[in-house]
Chains A and B, each alone.
Chain A
Amino acid sequence: MRQLQLFRTLILRPLRRDLLRTALTIVSVALGVGVVIAIDLAGDAATGSFRSSLETLVGRTDLEIAANGGVDERWMAALTALPVNARFAPVIETQGVLDRTGSVTVYGVDFVSQRPEAEAAHPLPRDLNCAIVVSSGLARRLDVKAGDRLSLTLSDRRRTFEVAGLAEAKDAEFILLDIAAAQRGLNQYGKLDRIDVFVSPREDFSRVERQLRATLPASYRLEKPGTRSEENQRMLRAFRWNLRVLSYISLVVGAFLIYNTISVSVVRRRTEIGILRAVGASRRRVLWLFLGEALLFGLAGSVAGIVFGRAMAEGAVGLIADTVNSLYVSSRPAEVALHPSAVAAAIAAGVAVAVLSALAPAREAMQVAPVEAMGRGAHEHHSRMHARRNLCWGLTAAVIAAAVSQVRPVDGKPVAGYAATLLAVAAMAMAAPAVVTGLSAGTRSASRWLFGPEGLLAVRGLAASLARTSVVVGALATAIAMMASVGIMVGSFRETVLVWLNTQLRADLYIRPAGRASADEHPALSSDVAGVVSAVPGVEAVDDFHALEFKYEGQRATLGAGNAEIVRRYGRLRFLPGQDRGSILRSLEGRDRVIVSEPFANKHGVHANDVLNLPLGDRLVKVVVAGIYYEYSSERGFVIFDRSTLLKYLPNLPATNLAVYVRRGANPEEVRHAVEARLANYRVTVAPNRALRQNAVTIFDRTFAITYALEGVAIAVAMLGAANSLLAMVLDRRREFGLLRYLGAAPAQIRRMILLEAGFLGIAANLLGLALGFVLSLVLIYVINKQSFGWTIQFHPPLALLAGASTLVWMTTVLAGIYPARAAARLNPIEVIHEE
C-alpha cells in the first residue's frame, strides 16, 4: 500500500499535471504497438486460408495425389482397382471469371460418382457439359437459384451455364463443374490437377499409403492435406518476416522515447528521490517506482495500440493481399480477427519495450544519494556524457555489425541481416552524443554570425542537454534511417526492374486469357489462338509460352517453355556474369537443357552445368542447367525449357501466353487492332509492350505501398517524440529562459532560439539518419533481400527523393518546436528565477 501511495504522489500526480506530455508518450507507444499488431493481423487475414474450400462440401481428404504437369486420368482405373478400402476422387481446381462478380474458384469433379449425399436424391442434369452447381454462400451473394443461368469464363472462353443446384458449404464460395467439362474448358485433356483419397476409418492408413507409393510413378507426389497450405505459408514467410521487422522499427523509435521520458522524470525528481532516500527508502523501492511509470506507459500505450492496430489492419489487408496474389499465390483475404493471443502478444510487446527502455534511467534514479535533498537551489543535474567513450563503443558495434552481416541465413531467414541492422542502429545511437557535440562546436561561430545570440544559445543548448538531445536525435535518426534505407532499396529495386523490363519485354504485343491471374495461376489459351495470330498481316513471329506450377525439392516454382530461338533473336535476356546468352539459348533446342532464374538458383543452391532431377508427368527427367538469368517478376523461381523439349515430356500442355513480334515497318497499333479483331470470339487481353511495362511498374509500386505506410508511422512516432522532448527541455530550462528575459531578451527571441534548436536537432538527426540509412540500405540490398528472395539488386539511390524526404522531415521537426517555443516565451520570469 505504501508503494502504491508513493507511486501516486511521486509518479501519477506529476503525470496528471503534465497531461500533454503524458498523452504524447502514450500515443507514441500506441502507434508503435498498433503498427506491429496491424501488420500481424493483416498478414494473417490477407494470406487467408489456403485450404481447399471443397473440404467444406466433401469433407477432409486423407491424402492427395499430384504431379508436375498434372495427373494422368488413366491412373484412376488403376487406383480404383487396388485392394484397399478407400475412395478416389479426381479434382481439377482453377479460377474462373464470372461476368457479374469477377474471379471465383471452380472445381471440376466427377458429377456422376462424387455427388454429395444430399444431392443423391435429385436427378443429374441432362447436359453435364452446360451444368454447374453453385455453393450456397456464393448463391446467396449473387442471389441465384437452381435454374438460373450464369456466364463463366474458363481460360479464354466465355460460356453460359445452367445452375443445376446448390451445394450446402457454409460460407465457402465456389462453383462445381463436371470434370470432363472442366477438362474441355481448360484445354486439359486427359489431365487432372490431383486425385483426392478418402481412406475408410476401418482401413489401415499406412497400408494404403504403401500401396499407393508402390503403384504410382516415382515422379508423383503423395501428400497429406494441408501440405499446400504449409508450403504457401512457408513461401510467404520471408515476405511476412520482412514486413514484421519493418513494423518493429516504430517500436524501436518508441523505445528511445520511453527512455527519454523516464530520464526526464528522474532528472526532475532528483530532489524528491534524495528526500525519499534520506528518510529511509531503499534503492530497490526507487527503482520500482520508475519501472512502474514505464509499465504504466507500456500498458496504456499497448491497450490504445490494440485499438489503433485493429483499425489499421483493415486498411492494410487489401494492400498485403494484393501483393500476395500478384507475386506469390492466389489467396482470398479473410476477415481481420483479433484473437486473445494477439492481444496478449501486443500488450507483452508494449510493456516489455517500455520497461526495458526505462531500465537505465531507473537504475540511475536508484543511485541518487540522500545528499541530493540537501542541495540549495534546484540546479539542473547534468549527467555526464562520455561522448568519446560512447563513440568508441559505437564504432565497435559497427564493426561487429559488418561481420555479422556476412553470416548465412538460418532456415531461410536472414537473421544475421536483422541482427546486423539492430547493431548498426545501436552503433548510431552511441555515436549520437559525439555527433551532437561536434555539430555544436563546429557550427558555433557560423550560427552566431547567421542567427545572432539566438543561434549561439541554440547550438550551445544542444550540447548542454547532451543526454537528452542525443536520445531525441537517436530516435529521429532511426526513423530517418528507415525511411532512407527502404527508399534506397526500393529505388534501386525499381531501377533494376525497369532495366530488366527493357531486356525482358521485347515483344510488341502480349496475349493472355482475360481476367486477373495470381502468380501461381496460368490459365490456358485455346490451341488455335497462336495460329490465328500468326496469320495476321504484319506479324513476324509468335512465341507461345507454356507455363505451369511445379514443385521442386518441396518448394513451389514455375516451369515454362518458349521458343529459345525467337528469344535469342529478338530478346535481350540477361544472364549472370560470364555466361554467354547466345550460346546458352542455342544449346536448349531439342535437348534436356534448361535455364533457371536467379531466385531459383539461389533458393536451391543451383549453378550452371548442375544436373536437376525434374519430376515431369510420369517421369523423372535429368536436365542440365545451361545458364542462370536475372528475373524479377516473382521470387518463386523459373525453370525454362525450349518448347520442343518440354512438350516431349508433357504433350498437350497448352500455351498460357503469346509474345508477338511485329514486322519492321508495320504499324504496331494497326497490327494490334487486327489481332484483336481476329480474336474477338476469345476472352483474351492483347496488351502492347508499353502497357505491360506500365502494369508491371504499377504492381511493383503497389507492392511497396504498405512499406511506405510503415515508414510514415515511424516518422510520426519520432516527431511526437521530438515535440515531447522539446517541451520537456523547455520545462527543464525554464530558469534559463527566465534569466534571458531579465537580460533583455524579447519573447520573439526566446521563440526563435527554441525553433533554431529544433532545426539543429533536425540537421543532426538527418546527418546521422542518412548515413545510417545508406549503411542499412546495403544490408537490405545485399544481405536481407538476397537471402530472403534471391535477387540481385543494382544500387541506384534516388537522391532527389531522399533530399526531398529529409527536407520534409527537417521542416516537421522545426514545426514540432512551435508549441514548446510559445510555451517558453510565455513563462513568467519572476516565478522561474526564484524557484528553489
Chain B
Amino acid sequence: MFRENHINLILLIGLLVVPIIAMFSDEPFIISLSTKVAIFALAGVGLNIALGFGGLVSFGHAAFFGLGGYAAGILASHALNFEPMFNWPFEFSGTTSMPVIWLVAIVVTFFAALIIGTLSLRTGGVYFIMITLAFAQMIFYFAISWPAYGGEDGLSIYVRNEFPGLNTLDPISFFAICYALLLIGVGFSWALIHSRFGLALNVARQNTLRLASTGIAPFRVRLTAFVISAMITGLAGALYADLNRFVSPSMLSWQTSGEIMVFVILGGVGRLCGPLAGAALFIILEHNLGGVTEFWQFLLGLLLLLVVLFARGGIVGILAGGRGNV
C-alpha cells in the first residue's frame, strides 16, 4: 500500500515532467502524446471504478467516451457555423466553452449510463459484457447512419474549444487542462474507494450475498458506480475530441471499448493509477513499435496475455505487490 502510493506519485510526476521537458526542447509532438496519455488515463480511471472496484466488466465504455466526444463536437460545430441547435424554449446555438461542453458531456453520459446500467445490471457475467457491448454498438451504428453530424465521415472541430484565461491551441496549456482533470479524476476515485460507498462497492464485488444480507441492495450500489464510471469516461471523450479537433464513430466502436479496457488491465485492475500506467505503456508501444512494424499490436496482445496469466495486478501490481484498494 505504502509502496503503491510512491509508484502512483512517480507516475503522476512523470506524466508532468515529460511534456515540460518537451516544451523546453521544442517538441510539441511529445506534448501532444502526453496529452493523449492523460486523456486515455482519465477514460481508464472512469472504467476502473466499474471494472476494478465494482467488478463490472463493461465492454461498452466506448459509448460513453464517444458520447462525450460527440457532445463536444456537436456543440462546437453549431457555435462555429452559427446554426442554432434549437429555437425553443430559447435560442441555443452551441458553445465553444470547454467547461460548458464538459458539463454537457457529463450530463449526457449520466443519462445514457443510467439507462444502459439499469438494463444491463439485471444480468451478470458474460451476459453483462455482451449487453454493454450491444448498447455501445447500437450507438455506434446510429452515429454512422445519422447524416446530420457527419455520419461515417465524422465531424471536425475547426478551432479547439476555449477555456477562460488559457490559449488552448498552445499544446502545453491544453495538456495542463487534461492533466488537471486527470488529477481530479484520480483524487475522486481515491476518495470514492475509501468512502462508505467504496466499502459497499468493494463488498458488492467480493460477496453480493453478504451485502444484501446486511441490508444494502447490490443493484443500487452497482448502478451508482456504473454511472459515475461512465461520466468520467465521458469527460475524457470530450477532451479527446478537442485534442484531435475531430470526432468520428470510431470513438464509439468496440475497439475503443477494448482499448480502454486494455489500459486498465495492463496497468492493474483496481489500482488507483493503473489506468495511467497502462495508457502510458500503450502510447509508448504504439509510438515506438508502431514505427518499426505494423504488427505492434501483436506484441501488445502478447504482453496483455502475459499480464493476464502471470501478473494480475498489472504494471502497478508488479512494482508494488499486494492488492491495494481499501
Physical interaction between A and B: no
- On B, residues with C-beta under 8 Å from A are none
- On A, residues with C-beta under 8 Å from B are none
